[in-house]
Chains A and B, each alone.
Chain A
Amino acid sequence: MIPGIGTLTQDTLWCFSQVKGTIEIGTTEADIISTVEFNHTGELLATGDKGGRVVIFQREQESKNQVHRRGEYNVYSTFQSHEPEFDYLKSLEIEEKINKIRWLPQQNAAYFLLSTNDKTVKLWKVSERDKRPEGYNLKDEEGRLRDPATITTLRVPVLRPMDLMVEATPRRVFANAHTYHINSISVNSDYETYMSADDLRINLWNFEITNQSFNIVDIKPANMEELTEVITAAEFHPHHCNTFVYSSSKGTIRLCDMRASALCDRHTKFFEEPEDPSNRSFFSEIISSISDVKFSHSGRYIMTRDYLTVKVWDLNMENRPIETYQVHDYLRSKLCSLYENDCIFDKFECVWNGSDSVIMTGSYNNFFRMFDRNTKRDVTLEASRENSKPRAILKPRKVCVGGKRRKDEISVDSLDFSKKILHTAWHPSENIIAVAATNNLYIFQDKVN
């Protein structure tokens, strides 16, 4: 099996690898994982939670002794990224929940990531320290100042090895640029700039400059009574540093070129699937709202997630997606209750595998779905403590819609809507996935023969 070339033939089996977090009845709200992201090599895996904390896991080096066990992820660093704040002018609390984490490509020994809550983006540097200087002249080993009168000789301090310490320091704080709630951040391929998007505006930043940003998209109407749509997600093209896309609550995607004008209110491309007006219902617009948009690694396609489907669009074709995958169409006959319990507003994310051949997204009942774009096969898997023996193969799950329920199927009415898989991540080149199930992080790998 060639790593990264994922296919969902019957040969691909996903196995449990690890689970992080505790089993508890009644989750503390702060422990709910709100974002998951691998870095560009897959060596590091970062999570953010509602309590404003970031935990970074590092893959251990594969040892020659244990060829059957692929590298496991262990805690590398953890820090408090954001704290709760208060907007005194509006008497509103600013949540510390980490909405997104995005890694910068590694350029030296240190690792850099951006983390954001609703209002403030921060650049964090994570670096290792494994040596410390010893033999100072003016202070002793505990750091206490020595009496200068007792010093009779000079020595040169030397660096000696110490236990590895991983430090996280905030290097930049990009604040006060968003009136509305930040939903996305995206690092540009020039590695010099990044964008942050809120409900109505998108700003472009330079990593070195924190007191200024350029506004590149502004869809706020002069009269708020005329507001009809909001920005739901945004991302830079993986290779073209002038190009980005943003999605809307009306199910449309706009591609913008920053070379065209300073303010990209006029799109270069507009992606929208035509809708049959006779099918329109009260729920149509709500379920068409795009909760996530992701470029393929190749940069040729974009993938969007709305409430019931995942769609793949070719950048060269604006009038309809080239592929549509049903995530959980059986929920169509439950929309009334899902509206009443607010689940219809859940924001699911979606991810590509390293070769852009398989896409993955979450659902309810701790189910998540994978779609193979080549074979058109799909599979439903579950993140559950019951399947958490090391290297246990995950059994495909099935939701029963009709009357007759088979033994291993689950009926739509038995689904647990409080167990939502909103955030998942796929290793950039291998078949390793991270799935956030409320307060637990599951890591699955494909079976090693």
Chain B
Amino acid sequence: SEHSMHPWSLQLSIPNNLEEMEDKVTSPEKAEEAKLKARYPHLGQKPGGSDFLRKRLQKGQKYFDSGDYNMAKAKMKNKQLPAAAPDKTEVTGDHIPTPQDLPQRKPSLVASKLAG
């Protein structure tokens, strides 16, 4: 899931204490939460505003942008940036795009099959 890398970090009470989690595993929802936390231990711990909401606002196919490219290169000098995960379909300003990341051309427009 592309969302697994972007924690939903609003005002939630995600129990960090394992015993607390086990006590609360009664409702199916809490059981599912425990499962998720077990798979992605860093979920919900990132501080700051809602990454998820911001990501939603930026939805859309991102193409190569020379400005982003140069900014990313400049950042690389200061700290180690994560490389793009192989399944990541989104190219953002934090990541240096490669030809493999760029999306395919759209096919040409034809008539709807509902009208056929």
- A residues engaging B (CB < 8 A)? 20-22, 30-31, 33, 47, 49, 51-53, 55, 75, 78, 80, 83-84, 86, 90-95, 118, 180-181, 199-200, 223-230, 249, 279-286, 332-336, 339-342, 345, 439, 441
C-alpha gap A281/B29 in the complex (Å): 7
CB distance from A44 to the nearest CB of B (A): 14
Residue among B49, B62, B111, B112 making CB contact with A226, cutoff 8 Å: B49
Residues of B within 8 A of A281 (CB): 27, 29-30, 32-33
- Can you list 21 A-B contacts with CB-CB less than 8 angstroms, sorted by A residue number? A21-B114, A31-B114, A53-B112, A55-B115, A75-B115, A78-B115, A92-B58, A92-B63, A95-B61, A200-B57, A225-B49, A228-B49, A229-B53, A280-B12, A280-B13, A285-B8, A285-B10, A335-B33, A336-B32, A336-B33, A339-B36
Residue pairs across A and B with CB atoms within 8 Å: the count is: 138
In the complex, what residues of A have CB within 8 A of residue B79's CB? none
Chain A residue with Cβ nearest B63: A91
Give the secondary structure class of B's interface. Answer: loop
**B88 in the interface (beta carbon within 8 A):** no
Q: Chain B interface: which size bin?
A: 35 or more
CA distance A280 to B24 in the complex (A): 10
Task: Please name the 8 residue pairs, one residue from A and one from B, whose CB atoms are nearest each other, closest first.
Answer: A225-B49, A91-B65, A333-B28, A93-B61, A335-B32, A78-B115, A281-B33, A336-B35
Q: Are A84 and B32 in contact (CB under 8 A)?
A: no
Q: Are B57 and A230 in contact (CB under 8 A)?
A: yes
Cβ-based interface call for B71 (8 A): no
B67 → chain A closest CB, angstroms:
8
How close is B8's CB to chain A, nearest CB, in angstroms? Answer: 7
B112→A49 contact, CB < 8 A? yes
CA distance A280 to B37 in the complex (A): 15
Q: A333 near B32 (CB under 8 angstroms)?
A: yes
When A224-B54, A228-B10 are in contact, do A334 and B60 touch as well, CB less than 8 Å? no
> Is B3 a contact partner of A31 (Cβ separation < 8 A)?
no
Do residues A282 and B14 form an inter-chain contact, with CB atoms below 8 A?
A: yes
Can you list, as one digit per residue, whether each of B36-57 has a CB less than 8 Å from chain A (1) or not (0)? 1101000110001110011011
Contacts of A33 in B (CB 8 A): 114
Q: Which residues of B contact A180 (CB under 8 A)?
A: 57
